[in-house]
C-alpha cells in the first residue's frame, strides 16, 4: 500500500487544479453533486486497479456515467448501512414516547439505550469504513453491478483474508477526510479543492487495495453503462 502515492499523484496531472475545482463546483449541487463525485472517485479506483499508470485523474466529460455509478454505489452502501438506520430509529422512538408520557423512568431507559446504541453504531461505522473499499470496488470492476457489490459472503471473506490491507485503507480514508475538512480554514472557499481532493485520494486507496488483493486476477468489466442505460443491473 503506497500511502505517499495516494496523496501525491493528483499533483502529477497537469490539469489537477481545473479538475479539482470542477469537482468542487459540482459538489455544490445538492445530492447530485455528491453522487457524481463519488462515481468520479470510483473511476479513479478502477484506473488504479487496472494498472493504469498515467491519466489516473479523470476529466469530467463522462458526467452522466459518474452520476449513475455514484447512484448505484449509494444503493450498495445504503444496504450495508441499514442496520445503523434501524438501530437509530429505536432510541428516537423511545425518547419520543418518554416525552409524550412524561415518564422519568422511560426517559432514563431511553438514555441508557441511546448510549448502548451509540456504542454499537460507532463500532459498525468502523466496520463500514473497512468493508466499503471491498464492496464498492467489486461493484465498480464488475461493470457497476449492484449485485456484485452486495455479494456479502464473498466480500466478507475477502476482507477477512486481507484485513490488514483494508485497515490501512480505512486509516488512509480518515486522513484524507481530515485533509478534506481543512479547506474550511480559508473561509470555506478552500473546500472547493480539498473535498474533491479527499475523494481522489480515497479512490486511489480503493484501487490500490483491489489491485493488491486480486493480484494478477483482475478482470475489468467496463465500459460502464451510459447515463441513459439500465441502472438496476
Written as tens digits, the pLDDT of the chain (233 aa) is 899 999 999 999 999 999 999 999 999 999 999 999 999 999 999 999 998 877 889 999 999 999 999 999 999 999 999 998 888 887 677 667 666 666 677 667 777 878 888 899 899 999 999 999 999 999 999 999 999 999 999 999 999 999 999 999 999 999 999 999 888 876 677 889 999 999 999 999 999 999 999 875 555 556 544 444 444 44
The total domain count for the chain is: 1
Residue 162, in any domain of the structure: yes
CA–CA gap between residue 97 and residue 120 (Å, rounded): 22
Residue 30, in any domain of the structure: yes
Residue 209, in any domain of the structure: yes
Residue 158, in any domain of the structure: yes
Residue 186, in any domain of the structure: yes
Query: Which residues span the domain enclosing 56?
Result: 3-79+134-214
Residue 109, in any domain of the structure: no
Residue 112, in any domain of the structure: no
Q: ∠ CA(182), CA(204), CA(158), 5° rounding?
A: 120
In the chain the first and final C-alpha atoms are separated, in Å, by 32
Give pTM, 2 decimals.
Answer: 0.86
Residue 115, in any domain of the structure: no
Which residues make Cβ contacts (< 8 Å) with residue 227, sequence separation at least 6? 63, 64, 65, 67, 68
Amino acid at each position: 500500500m503506497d500511502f505517499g502515492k495516494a496523496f501525491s499523484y493528483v499533483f502529477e496531472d497537469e490539469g489537477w487544479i481545473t479538475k479539482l475545482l470542477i469537482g468542487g463546483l459540482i459538489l455544490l449541487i445538492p445530492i447530485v453533486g455528491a453522487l457524481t463525485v463519488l462515481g468520479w472517485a470510483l473511476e479513479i479506483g478502477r484506473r488504479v486497479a487496472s494498472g493504469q499508470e498515467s491519466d489516473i485523474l479523470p476529466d469530467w466529460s463522462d458526467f452522466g456515467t459518474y452520476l449513475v455509478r455514484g447512484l448505484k454505489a449509494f444503493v450498495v452502501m445504503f444496504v450495508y448501512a441499514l442496520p445503523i438506520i434501524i438501530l437509530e430509529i429505536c432510541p428516537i422512538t423511545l425518547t419520543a414516547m418518554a416525552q409524550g408520557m412524561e415518564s422519568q423512568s422511560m426517559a432514563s431507559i431511553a438514555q441508557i439505550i441511546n448510549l448502548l446504541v451509540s456504542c454499537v453504531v460507532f463500532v459498525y461505522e468502523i466496520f463500514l469504513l473497512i468493508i466499503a473499499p471491498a464492496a464498492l470496488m467489486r461493484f465498480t470492476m464488475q461493470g457497476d453491478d449492484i449485485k456484485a457489490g452486495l455479494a456479502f459472503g464473498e466480500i466478507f471473506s475477502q476482507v477477512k483474508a486481507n484485513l490488514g490491507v483494508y485497515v490501512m485503507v480505512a486509516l488512509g480514508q480518515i486522513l484524507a477526510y481530515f485533509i478534506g475538512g481543512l479547506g474550511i480554514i480559508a473561509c470555506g472557499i478552500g473546500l472547493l479543492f480539498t473535498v474533491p481532493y479527499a475523494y481522489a485520494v480515497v479512490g486511489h486507496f480503493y484501487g490500490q487495495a483491489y489491485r493488491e488483493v486480486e493480484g494478477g486476477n483482475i478482470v475489468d468489466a467496463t465500459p460502464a453503462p451510459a447515463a441513459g442505460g439500465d441502472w438496476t443491473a
